[in-house]
Structures are given as C-alpha cells and as structure tokens.
C-alpha cells in the first residue's frame, strides 16, 4: 500500500481517487497495481490478491484470487490472538535453559518473529541528495530503514504537486489508527507510513511516494512506480467481494502460538 500511495456509500458512483502503478520484480516480471480510495474505504488490487478496508465495519478483507477465497480480518480479534500467542511463546521460552532462551530471543529480535516477541519495529526515513523525474513529477529519494537496516528507497513528491490533499487519504489514517488501537506495539512503526502527520514529522512536508524500491535482506525485491492518479467516479461494487468466492476463517493465532 505504501508503495502505491465512515461515510455511507450512496447508490451510483462517487467521485473518488483512482491510482495506478506498475510493480517490476527483481526477475523482470511486471504486474499492474490499482488503488481505489473513498473517504470511508479503500481497495488495493494486484494480479494475485486484493485487500479492501472499510471504516463502517472496521474490518479488512483479504481476497486470494488464485484460490477464489477471501478472509475477513478483524484487527481486534487479531490483536487478542497475537497477545495469546506471545504469552504462550514466553511461557515456552521460560522453560528453556537461560543460554538457549537468550539465543532464541536474540535471533527473533532480528526477524519477523520479533514482532511476536512484542518488539516494535523502528522505521525511519533519511533524506538523500538524489532527486528523480518520474512521469510528470519531481521527487526526492529517502532511505527507509527498519531497525537500522535499509528496507526501501522512497522517491517522495509533495502531495500538492501531485494534485491531491490529505483529505483524499483520510481512510489511510483511519486504517492505521484502527490497527494501532487493536495491535498496539505489534502494529509496528510501518503504520506511520500511512499517516501524513507521522511521515511529515520525518521528511518535513506532506508527501506521497512516486517510486518505491523494496529490499529484502539487502537484496532488490521490486520497484513500484506510480503511473496515474486522478479523481474520477468509482462504483460502490468495486469494494465488494467478487461472486463465487468462498469465505475462509481467520486463523486462531492463540492456537498457533500454543495457546488455548
């Protein structure tokens, strides 16, 4: 979502924001990405999956296109499950010899499992002297680092130059706030990248990424480039689950962690 970057929907189409982008993987494969934004809902659509978030339900819907399945994600239930999993994991760790326990905790602190240990992810943006001209936009490159390690390069342009306002992305902040309230420290600082206030504090202006270069373990993973961004009518059914998809239950994270 970072890369592409409550009011009832009436019948018919509403003027909203539609953003298109191209993602190019390290192997050269190109796939389109589309983002649809209304004041109370958003949809991220790729060739493999779709994510829809609505403020009226407070839930996100993850649509898995290859399986013709979808899953409703309730942040509150997820937060409770993660807390139970963390408690079970801590209980298991306490039963291990001290040296082994410290070794496991150190390893998890540098991996995705670190979030399960309750360790927040420290995400920072560092301005560089590099600028780019991408399409009709001029942008400045910022190094995004997670726990001190480079995780992406964001080429950010002022939102005023792109022709959008904070109000256009109000649903992003609603989503970030919802996840923070439910997940607490498990949500991590990555949620700040969806919040203009938090991002502006780091970069000094209201901006939107025009290009995002993603790195995994120091290696190039993908490059996502904004193609178009425009206000246009969007039909409400864009935010509905396609017909013929089967609903799957959300995993019980407490059980995954050994809890009851």
Torsion of CA 235, 238, 242, 248, to 10 degrees: -140
Tokens of 87: 């408690």
Average pLDDT estimate for 165-194: 70
pLDDT of residue 258 exceeding 60, the answer is: no
- 117 in helix, strand or coil? helix
Q: Which pLDDT belongs to residue 111?
A: 44
Q: Which pLDDT belongs to residue 158?
A: 95
CA atoms within 13 A on the CB side of 218: 2
pLDDT of residue 110 exceeding 50, the answer is: no
Q: Which of 221, 179, 206, 186 is nearest to 55 (CA)?
A: 179
Encode pLDDT of 45-88 as tens digits: 999 999 999 998 888 999 999 999 999 988 776 656 565 566 66
Average pLDDT estimate for 163-188: 76
- 235 in helix, strand or coil? coil
Dihedral sign of CA atoms 149, 155, 158, 162 in order: negative
104 or 220, which is more confident: 220
Q: Which pLDDT belongs to residue 7?
A: 33
CATH 1.20.1630.10 fits 14-256, yes or no: no
Q: Which residues contact 101 (CB under 8 A, 6 or more apart)?
A: 93, 94
Task: State the maximum Cα–Cα separation within the chain, in Å, rounded to a whole number.
Answer: 63
- 258 in helix, strand or coil? coil
Q: Which pLDDT belongs to residue 8?
A: 32
Task: Give the separation between CA 44 and CA 171, rounded to whole angstroms.
Answer: 13
Task: Give the separation between CA 102 and CA 222, rounded to whole angstroms.
Answer: 34
Q: Which pLDDT belongs to residue 181?
A: 73
Q: Which pLDDT belongs to residue 105?
A: 63
Average pLDDT estimate for 215-243: 93
Task: Give the separation between CA 129 and CA 127, rounded to whole angstroms.
Answer: 7
What does pLDDT average to over the chain?
Answer: 80
Question: Contact 223/212 with Cβ under 8 angstroms?
Answer: yes
First-to-last C-alpha distance (Å) of the chain = 33
Task: Give the separation between CA 216 and CA 144, rounded to whole angstroms.
Answer: 12
pLDDT of residue 171 exceeding 80, the answer is: yes
Query: Domain residues of the chain, as ranges?
Result: 14-256
Average pLDDT estimate for 235-259: 77
Backbone torsions φ then ψ of 100, nearest 5 degrees: -70, -40
pLDDT band at 9 (very low <50, low <70, confident <90, very high): very low
Task: Give the separation between CA 177 and CA 195, rounded to whole angstroms.
Answer: 9
Q: Which pLDDT belongs to residue 217?
A: 87
32 or 249, which is more confident: 32
229 or 4, which is more confident: 229
């Amino acid at each position: 979502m970072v890369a592409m970057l409550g009011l009832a929907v009436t019948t018919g189409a509403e003027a909203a924001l539609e953003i298109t982008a191209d993602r190019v993987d390290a192997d050269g494969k190109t796939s389109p990405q589309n983002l649809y934004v209304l004041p109370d809902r958003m949809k991220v659509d790729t060739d493999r999956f779709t994510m829809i978030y609505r403020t009226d339900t407070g839930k996100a819907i993850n649509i898995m296109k290859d399986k013709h399945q979808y899953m409703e994600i309730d942040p509150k239930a997820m937060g409770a499950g993660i807390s139970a999993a963390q408690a079970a994991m801590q209980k298991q760790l306490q039963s291990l010899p001290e040296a082994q326990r410290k070794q496991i905790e150190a390893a998890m602190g540098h991996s995705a499992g670190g979030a399960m240990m309750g360790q927040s992810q420290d995400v920072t943006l560092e301005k560089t002297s590099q600028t780019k001209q991408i399409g009709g936009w001029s942008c400045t490159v910022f190094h995004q680092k997670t726990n001190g390690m480079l995780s992406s390069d964001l080429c950010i342009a002022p939102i005023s130059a792109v022709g959008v306002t904070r109000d256009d992305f109000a649903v992003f902040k609603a989503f970030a706030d919802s996840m923070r309230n439910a997940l607490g420290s498990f949500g991590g600082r990555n949620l700040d990248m969806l919040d203009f206030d938090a991002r502006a504090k780091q970069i000094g202006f209201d901006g939107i990424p025009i290009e995002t270069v993603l790195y995994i373990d120091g290696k190039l993973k993908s490059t996502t480039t904004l193609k178009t961004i425009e206000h246009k009518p969007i039909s409400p059914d864009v935010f509905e689950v396609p017909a013929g998809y089967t609903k799957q239950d959300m995993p019980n994270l407490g059980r995954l962690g050994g809890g009851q």
